[in-house]
Amino acid sequence: MSTRTSGKNAPEDVARVTTRTLQDMKASGVKIAMLTAYDFTSARILDAAGIDVLLVGDSASNVMAGHETTLPITLDQMIYHAQCVVRGVSLALVVVDLPFGTYQGNTKEALSSAVRVMKESGAHAVKVEGGRSIVPTVERILEAGIPVMGHLGLTPQSIYRFGSYQVRARDEVEAEELREDAVLLERAGVFSIVLEKIPASLAAEVSASVSVPTIGIGAGAQCDGQVLVTHDALGLTTDFNPRFVRRYTHLDEQIEGHVKQYIDDVRSGNFPSDEESY
Ligand code: KIV
C-alpha cells in the first residue's frame, strides 16, 4: 500500500496519492483525510502537512467570492482556482468540482467541461453532484480517462430544490434512493463518493456496501474518509456553524489581533525599524 503520513518531511520515495491509493486505504482501513483548497499558498501548506486529497470545491463560491450559494461560480473561475492549487501541490490528489450548469445539460457538455478542467489546470480528477440522473455523464467522462468522484446527500448545487440545508435522507424513501444511487455510481465507475449531511447510520451502511471509498461531511465516523471546508476547520469563517464542523483554531481572531498590532506599529512609527530599512 502506498499511503504516506507526511508531505514536507516525507522520504523522497513517498508516492503521490492516486485514486488507487485511496482504494488501498479503504481496503486496509486507513482513513482518508480531505480538505478544500482554492489557492497556491494554502494548497502548499496543506500538502506539506500530508493531506491525502485536496478538493477545489465550488464552495469557493461561498468562502472565496462571498456568494450565498455555490451556484454562481463559473467554469473559468474553477479552473483558475484549480491552476493555483495544482501549482502548490506535490503529493496530494487534486479533485475539482464541476460547477453548476456545466455538466447537467448533456453528457457532451459535461465531457467538455471535465476535459477543460484537466487540460487547463493539471488537476487529477473531477467531482459531480447527483445520483442516477448523472450516471450517463459519469460514464462519458470516464470513457475519456478522467477519474470521477461522486457526491450524494445534501448536494449544495440543488439547494433551491431542497429548500434548506437540513440533513438529507432521514426518511426511508430518500434513504433507499441514496443507497441505490451509491451502487449505481459505483457501477458507473466513480473512484469515491462524498456523502454530505446524512444520518451516520445510513452513511455507515453505504460505506460498507460499496467497494469505493466514501468521504463524509456531516455523515458520521464510519465513512472511509472525512472532508471539511478548510476555512471552516481553521476558523476563518465565523457565520457557518453546523454541528459537523470542528474548528481546530480561530484564525479569524488571530489574524485580527495581528492586523491590529500592525496598524498600531504603523501609527506609532514602531514599524519599520532600522533593521527593516535600507
Ligand atoms: O464544494 C465543496 O467544498 C464540497 C465539499 C463540502 C464536499 O463539495
DSSP string, the chain: ----S-STTS-TTPPPP-HHHHHHHHHTTPPEEEEE--SHHHHHHHHHHT-SEEEE-TTHHHHTT--SSSTT--HHHHHHHHHHHHHH-SSSEEEEEPPTTSSSS-HHHHHHHHHHHHHHH--SEEE--BSGGGHHHHHHHHHTT--EEEEEES-GGGHHHH-S-PPS--SHHHHHHHHHHHHHHHHHT-SEEEEES--HHHHHHHHHH-SSPEEEESS-TTSSEEEE-HHHHTT---S---TT---S--HHHHHHHHHHHHHHHHHHT-SS-STT--
Residues annotated as catalytic are 196
Q: Which three cell numbers, joined as nine digits, stand for 136?
A: 450517463
120-156 residues labelled b (16+ CB within 10 A) or e (exposed): ebebbbbbbbbbeebbebbebbbeeebbbbbbbbbbb
**Contact indicator for 101, 131 with CB cutoff of 8 Å:** no
Cα of 110 from ligand 1 centre, angstroms:
19
pLDDT at 229: 98
The confidence score (pLDDT) of residue 5 equals 44
Atom number, ligand 1, closest to the C-alpha of residue 229: 3
- Hey, whose CA ends up nearest to atom 2 of ligand 1? 57
Nearest Cα to Cα of residue 33 among 59, 7, 13: 7
139 alpha carbon to ligand 1 midpoint, in Å?
22
Q: What is the pLDDT of residues 154-180, one digit of tens each?
A: 999 999 999 999 999 999 999 999 999
Cα 247 from Cα 276, distance rounded (Å): 35
CA of 268 to the centre of ligand 1 (A): 43
Q: Is 36 in the pocket of ligand 1 (CB under 6 A)?
A: yes
Return the pLDDT at 13: 64
What is the CATH architecture of 19-247?
Answer: Alpha-Beta Barrel (3.20)
* Ligand 1 atom with the shortest distance to the CA of 215: 7
The domain limits of the chain are 19-247, 251-278
pLDDT computed for residue 14 by the predictor? 77
58 lines ligand 1 (CB under 6 A): yes
- pLDDT at position 8 is 47
Q: Measured from the CA of 70, which atom of ligand 1 is nearest?
A: 1
- Give the whole-angstrom CA distance, residue 131 versus residue 261: 50
pTM: predicted TM-score of the whole model, two decimal places:
0.95
Whether the link from the prior residue into 272 is cis, omega within 30° of 0, is yes
Is the beta carbon of 194 within 6 A of some atom in ligand 1?
yes
Q: In tens digits, what is the pLDDT along the chain, a chain of 278 residues?
A: 444 444 444 456 679 999 999 999 999 999 999 999 999 999 999 999 999 999 999 999 999 999 999 999 999 999 999 999 999 999 999 999 999 999 998 999 999 999 999 999 999 999 999 999 999 999 999 999 999 999 999 999 999 999 999 999 999 999 999 999 999 999 999 999 999 999 999 999 999 999 999 999 999 999 999 999 999 999 999 888 999 999 999 999 999 999 999 999 999 999 999 999 99
